[in-house]
Amino acid sequence: MDEVARLHYLQDELKRYNREYHELDAPTIPDAEYDALYRELVALETRHPDLVRADSPTRRVGSLDLRRNVRLVRHFEPMLSLNNGFDVRDLQEFDRRVRTGLGVDEVAYCCEPKFDGLAINLLYRGGDLVQGATRGDGEKGEEVTANLMTVKSIPRRMQGSGPWPAWLEVRGEVLMLKQDFEQLNRRQTGAGERTFVNPRNAAAGALRQLDPAETARRPLVFLAYGVGGGSPDFELPDHQDALLRWLGTLGFPVTEEIRVVQGESGLRMFFEDLGARRASLPYEVDGVVYKVNARKAQQKLGFITRAPRFALAHKFPAEEALSTVEAIEVQVGRTGTLTPVALLKPVFVGGVTVTRATLHNDEEIRRKDIRVGDQVWVRRAGDVIPEVVRVVRELRPAGTTAFEMPLTCPVCGSPARRLPEEVSWRCSGGLHCCPAQRKQALLHFAGRRAMNVDGLGEKLVDALVERAWVREPADLYRLTLEQWASLPRMARKSAENLVQSLERSKETTLARFLFALGIRQVGERTAHDLALHFVTLEAVMEADETHLQAVADIGPVVAQSLRDFFSAERNRQIIAHLRAQGVHWHENVQESQAVQVLAGLTFVLTGTLAHYSREEARNRIEQAGGKVVGSVTRSTHYLVVGRDPGSKVAQARKLDIPVLDEDQWDQLFKEIKA
């Protein structure tokens, strides 16, 4: 295709995607792909300005569905788009243009999350909500007042005692919280109705309901991010952050995740901070928005075509993308669980290339009807394992067949079994027969949170099991340096390090040891609770189910699993062999009890700590029995602040919750230990 043909092609395609997105609430390509095509079109149109049609997607904001019988209303001030940035270069370029435009060296920006919902314009007269509309084409939107009136977080009347502007357009985003979205989809599935791809489409669908009573049944929330037109005689706050705070005092929900920063480095820090916390936010964000904070400066910079010069949307890497299922493989886990995994055509999503996604179990595959050959939406949020969200049924090739779980273990050939109360199939071969289970069990045993043996990765474990050098964990301690050094790709120095690390691992704790055994249903937390309660391994091994259930959070299923494990002669031998190799721990009651003292306390962390990463800080608190949550509420006991804390500090002060710096936090541990 030559350039001109490509340009026309892109204009048409993007128009179609716009319609699917804005009118049908059913996009068929991921946002990131749309953005890439859009950028390509902009580049082509720059080279061929004569070919830019008035209705080109680059000249229009969103689109309008003229077939639907809805009333269109004109916004007082157009609802424009934001220019998008995707990398540091775009960000530097934006900051440079702003500085040049204003003739200054450094600019203060208000940074906000970019909510992934639906843009809404609310018109207030004398403090009363009189009209609500979607963005539409930016000039005119669909009037959805009755539907918006059912959204509880939209004030029907501005709060406070006024004076309020004679009229004002309040702008923001209507969205669905992640947890509400999941619940809605479960409800839809139960009722045999279609499920939604993501919270944004669910929110859009809810708002477009012709019957407001139907909208009211969908859990929508509103977050304000600015204003449109307003009566000229009313003076608005002169900075964006102050404007948002002012909107907050009028009763509009405003996010706490805003920050005023200086210059490009400040923008970058905000982007990274919010990006790291993206998965734990209660709503979806697809990037951050930077706005020049001083509104006078915003006016001075003005607009280009369809977007302001004073703002930039800096997008996060895509979290959802389209890929193809090339095969479905069945993996065997540590306890024999058979887990189907989709092998995918490599796809870049959420900042990494994804080639595999867990399908959980065959029930899940049946529910989503996933088949080899299908095009599927793949999702990766934060550090979470990628998953297949949905099949694009319209794109299913002919001749596909439904997936069947194998009747035997794909590794050792033993029959697969499923207990009546379980969703997963298991290999019945156990550790003795099934090398896959043995490998996984060894990897678990050596893991960082278990015996913490450095350098024992998957490849090495494969080699050990294949050579039958290691049949039980104690065998790891029996291997000689020569044997280690003779393994493929094993330098002598690495072998020495491994032997040393194994030697070090022999001194452990009872909790780690119990966890390392890989008993079904016994995670790190349960192992820890068991160690605390029973103090010695012998006591755990001899405890009957009643005694076991005396431990908090241990119920009949876990108790039964522990009994089964310790009553098996083979498992008793495995333990005896490990102790014979010198694995030991201190049965120190004092220490164990000290650990428990943070129990019942809830912490919130904010900002960067000097001596601990977020994860380390969280572990430290959790290991001491405390809990870490994401936001400050009345039930929070302490807020721990590091460098560059967020707005949580203000929230804690408001609720009278103690704010500790890192040293004070440290002190807390010492006081408790003493």
The only residue of 135, 334, 380, 528 in contact with ligand IVH, by rule CB under 6 A: 135
* Positions 640 through 669 that interact with ligand IVH (CB under 6 A): none
Q: How far is the CB of 234 from ligand IVH (least distance, A)?
A: 20
Q: Which is nearer to ligand IVH, 140 or 426 (CB)?
A: 140
Position among 22, 60, 75, 114 found at the interface with ligand IVH (CB under 6 A):
114
Cβ proximity to ligand IVH, 175 vs 184, nearer residue: 175
Amino acid identity of residue 53, one-letter, is R
Residue 77 or 542: the one with the smaller Cβ distance to ligand IVH is 77
Shortest separation between residue 309's beta carbon and ligand IVH, angstroms: 10
Residue 295's CB is within 10 A of a number of other CB atoms, namely 18
**Residue 34 binding ligand IVH, by CB under 6 A:** no
CA atoms within 13 A on the CB side of 423: 11
Size of the site for ligand IVH (CB under 6 A): 15
74 contact partners, CB below 8 Å, separation of at least 6:
139, 140
Binding piece for ligand IVH, criterion CB under 6 A, among 51-59, 126-134, 267-275, 307-315: 307-315
Q: Facing residues of 603 across strands?
A: 628, 638
Q: Please, are residues 551 and 529 in contact by the beta-carbon 8 Å criterion?
A: yes
CA distance 224 to 169: 11
How far apart CA 195 and CA 368 sit, in angstroms, is 10
Among 70, 82, 158, 261, binds ligand IVH (CB under 6 A): 82
State the DSSP string of 61-77: -S---SSS---EEE-SS
Strands (E), 351-403: 352-358, 375-379, 387-391
Residue 308 in contact with ligand IVH, rule: CB under 6 A = yes
Which among 621, 663, 656 has a CA at the least distance from the CA of 636? Answer: 656
Which of 17, 94, 109, 115 lies at the binding interface for ligand IVH (CB under 6 A)? 115
Task: Using alpha carbons, select from 294, 284, 326 the residue that is nearest to residue 182.
Answer: 284
Strands (DSSP E) found in 42-151: 72-74, 84-85, 108-115, 118-125, 128-134, 140-142
Q: Shortest distance, CB of residue 22 to ligand IVH, whole angstroms?
A: 11
From candidates 70, 170, 313, 551, binder to ligand IVH by CB under 6 A? 313
Which amino acid, 583? V
E-state strands within 136-247: 140-142, 167-175, 221-230
Interface segment toward ligand IVH; rule CB under 6 A; list 150-158, 175-183, 308-316, 565-573: 308-316
Binding mask 330-349 for ligand IVH (x = CB under 6 A): --------------------
CA 388/CA 330 separation, integer angstroms: 16
CB nearer ligand IVH, residue 285 or residue 370? 285
The residues that bridge with 358 in the sheet, in sequence order, are 341, 387
Of residues 82, 63, 205, 84, the one with CA closest to residue 138: 63
Distances, alpha carbon 392 to alpha carbons 26, 116, 212, 580, in Å = 11, 22, 30, 57
Residue from 226, 248, 251, 373 that binds ligand IVH (CB under 6 A)? 226
Q: Indicate whether 207 belongs to the interface with ligand IVH (CB under 6 A).
A: no
Stretch in the footprint of ligand IVH (CB under 6 A) among 111-119, 326-334, 413-421, 509-517: 111-119
CA nearest 312: which of 349, 264, 346? 264
80 contributes a contact to ligand IVH by CB under 6 A: yes
Return the residue of 56, 63, 81, 561 that touches ligand IVH, per CB under 6 A: 81
**311 is an interface residue for ligand IVH by CB under 6 A:** yes
Q: Quote the CA–CA distance of 145 and 131 in Å, as a whole number.
A: 5
Only one residue has tokens 């805003």, namely 258
- Can you tell me the distance from the alpha carbon of 21 to that of 42, in angstroms, rounded to the nearest whole number? 20
- Contact segment (CB under 6 A) with ligand IVH among 12-20, 107-115, 450-458, 622-630 equals 107-115
With CB atoms as reference, the residue minimizing the distance to ligand IVH is 119
Least CB distance to ligand IVH at residue 385 (A): 28
198 binds ligand IVH, rule: CB under 6 A: no
345 residue type, one letter? K
Is the C-alpha dihedral spanning 575, 580, 585, 587 positive or negative? positive
> Is residue 253 close enough to count as binding ligand IVH by CB under 6 A?
no
Site for ligand IVH in 167-186 (CB under 6 A): 173
Residue 270 CB, nearest distance to ligand IVH (Å)?
12
Give min distance, CB of 305 to ligand IVH, in A: 12
Nearer to ligand IVH, 62 or 386 (CB): 62
The least distance separating ligand IVH from the CB of residue 302, rounded to whole angstroms, comes to 11
Which residues in the 283-302 window bind ligand IVH by CB under 6 A?
A: 289
Give 80 or 412: the residue with its C-beta nearer to ligand IVH. 80
Distances (CA, A) of 257 to 95, 283, 624: 21, 12, 29
Structure tokens at 570: 């083979």
CA neighbor of 540 nearest in space, from 512, 520, 510: 510
Q: Which is nearer to ligand IVH, 308 or 607 (CB)?
A: 308
State the nearest-atom distance from the C-beta of 133 to ligand IVH, in Å. Answer: 13
Place of tokens 């043995």: 438
Residue 444 sits in the site that holds ligand IVH (CB under 6 A): no
Q: How far is the CB of 310 from ligand IVH (least distance, A)?
A: 8
If you count them, how many residues does the chain have? Answer: 674
List the beta bridge partners of residue 606: 641
**Does the footprint of ligand IVH cover residue 122 (CB under 6 A)?**
no
Rounded distance between C-alpha atoms, residue 46 and residue 52, angstroms: 9
Site membership for ligand IVH, residue 112 (CB under 6 A): yes
User: Closest approach of Cβ 191 to ligand IVH, in Å?
Assistant: 30
**Distance of closest approach, residue 289 Cβ to ligand IVH, in angstroms:** 4
The catalytic site residues sit at 114
Residue ranges binding ligand IVH (CB under 6 A): 80-82, 112, 114-115, 119, 135, 173, 225-226, 289, 308, 311, 313
